[in-house]
Chain A
Amino acid sequence: MDWQGQKVAEQLMQLLLLASAVMAFVTGYIMGSFQTMILIYAGGVVLTALIVVPNWPCFNRHPLRWLDPLEAEKHPKPPPPPPVASKKSKAKK
């Protein structure tokens, strides 16, 4: 999931959960049934999970653009420094 997809997924999760909670509470209160409220809310949570949790292709429409590999090859790494041999002779003294 790319950055844009993560943002959309989080906002979608909050919106869907809040909407199903409001709908469940109002329906339960009007019908006078606590069980109805819990069932509607549970359905909303499952639906939200199905929409938001898997890595659906629609969350991957804005892939990150990295530098071209050719551009990197134009500026090669500096060669490693030559090994220093003077340390050994100091230790012997």
Chain B
Amino acid sequence: MFSGRRTASGPAANEDEFSAATLEFLDALYGAALRLTRNADRAQDLVQDTYLKAIRARGRFATGTNLKAWLYTILHNTWRNCLRDSARSRVSFDSAVVEEAAEGARLAPSGQVDSPETQLMQATLDADLQQALDTLPESFREVVWLRDVDELSYQEIAAVLEVPIGTVMSRLSRGRKQLFVLLTAQRERPRGRLNGE
């Protein structure tokens, strides 16, 4: 049965049980699809493709592993293929460019570093946090989200994104730093520009 870390009962798990376990992550999958596609219709299509592929491939789901991470892997693969197959491929990730661009975001001046975290947390409205996340380069946003919101392990994130663990860790570090900068900037100028001094 499905419990705990959401594992299937065996490689040939019953389709209905597998489907039910998968649908428990519907909101999470839709959220991930929305982050990637940035379009509600395309997000739904992506979730549907992901779901059907998962059902078809359920025999290959390894018992005892994280079903959510496995589903994310399929979702990201599907999206990568979709980008590859379409004219939209011009917006596909160029990691080097993205990470270079992110270097432009510098840490806040040291004067602010000592502010209590709670103060920042309370001052950060959810809309602002969402906006800051949206501002992050996609490859950073996804790593930060998978780790800090979805609590996937480095290993699982590496599998989802098809990148080495070292890349996961460096994107995570840079993504968090950039998010911190964005949040700090918002606190100073709540409705001002988020980025760039």
- Binding partners A and B: no
Chain A residues within CB distance 8 Å of chain B: none
